[in-house]
């Protein structure tokens, strides 16, 4: 069982949505926190509130994770402050909707940087230290989009497929080291992820961030390699790519994203 109380978690994308909920849930378990996001003032306010409510140490690091040197900057700042991270929650993510060619190339690069490059770099930098100490954990936020190509969110789904594959392989490599790696694959969640996006998905068709985080941590406590913290229909949808021809899976996924209003 992972020892939460007195340990330190680093959470990316911690200022809102699932990241903020992870911060609250882990603070309630007695964890000290390093909160990483771009929005400095919001992050600092959250850190102060969590310290006041739970008596834990909370550090806010304002970092633009879309910058190529973001992970190295975080690592150097941790070393400068003498902070040892025991649990890494790679939560930050970007998801552009609409046709691939409708977006500026720089925005697509930023999506890959945040969803893949930072996640890999932090897993390497912090995971190496955890392995040397013989204990620790990494939770990588994948998605139900990890299991099939997703037209109109093509890059996002591809990055999440990477996260799932990478996490499962890394968990196998680190078995027996005392460091546990898990990918979480939630479905649509009632966060700010869809803010500013033309979508027909309503909150009642999504899981709450509290439910997703609680189920994710429960799966992590059970030492699962992959968590499915969504409603049963989301779990069933992940089976389609294993049972149906790929061409049909893509057509079904395109119909689903069109129904959600993500194509425009």
Catalytic machinery residues: 156, 160
Where residue 109 falls (left for φ over 0; alpha for ψ -120 to 50; beta otherwise) is: alpha
CA 217/CA 26 separation, integer angstroms: 9
Rg, the chain, Cα only: 18
Q: Give the Cα separation of 85 and 149 in Å (integer).
A: 34
Q: How many residues does the chain have?
A: 264
- Other Cβ atoms less than 10 A from the Cβ of 55: the count is 9
29: how many CB neighbours lie within 10 A of its CB?
15
Q: How many CB atoms lie within 10 A of CB 247?
A: 8
Alpha helices by DSSP H, listed for the chain, are 17-28, 40-54, 70-81, 105-112, 118-133, 154-174, 209-221, 232-237, 240-243, 246-259
| Dihedral angle over CA of 187, 189, 193, 197, nearest 10 | 80
Distance (Å, whole) CA 198 – CA 162: 26
Q: How far apart are CA 159 and CA 63, in angstroms?
A: 21
For residues 110 and 216, give the distance between their C-alpha atoms in angstroms, rounded to a whole number: 26
- Stated as kind and residue range, the H or E segment containing 180 is strand 179-184
């Amino acid at each position: 069982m992972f020892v939460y109380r007195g340990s330190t978690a680093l959470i990316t994308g911690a200022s809102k949505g699932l990241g903020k909920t992870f911060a609250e849930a882990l603070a309630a378990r007695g964890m000290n926190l390093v909160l990483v996001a771009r929005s400095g003032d919001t992050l600092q306010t959250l850190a102060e509130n969590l310290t006041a409510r739970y008596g834990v140490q909370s550090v806010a690091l304002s970092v633009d994770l879309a910058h190529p040197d973001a992970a190295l900057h975080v690592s150097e700042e941790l070393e400068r402050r003498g902070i040892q991270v025991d649990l890494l929650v790679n939560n930050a993510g970007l998801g552009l909707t609409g046709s691939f060619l409708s977006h500026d190339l720089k925005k697509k690069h930023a999506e890959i940087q945040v969803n893949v490059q930072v996640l890999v770099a932090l897993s390497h930098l912090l995971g190496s230290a955890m392995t040397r100490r013989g204990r620790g954990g990494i939770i990588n936020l994948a998605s139900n989009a990890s299991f099939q190509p997703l037209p109109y969110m093509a890059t996002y789904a591809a990055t999440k497929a990477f996260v799932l594959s990478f996490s499962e392989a890394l968990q196998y490599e680190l078995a027996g080291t005392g460091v546990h790696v898990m990918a979480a694959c939630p479905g649509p969640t009632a966060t700010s992820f869809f803010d500013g996006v033309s979508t027909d998905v309503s909150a009642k068709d999504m899981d709450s961030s509290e439910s997703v985080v609680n189920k994710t941590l429960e799966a992590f406590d059970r030492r699962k390699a992959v968590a499915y913290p969504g409603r049963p229909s989301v779990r069933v949808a992940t089976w389609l790519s294993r049972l149906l021809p790929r061409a049909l899976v893509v057509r079904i996924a395109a119909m689903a994203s069109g129904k959600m209003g993500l194509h425009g």
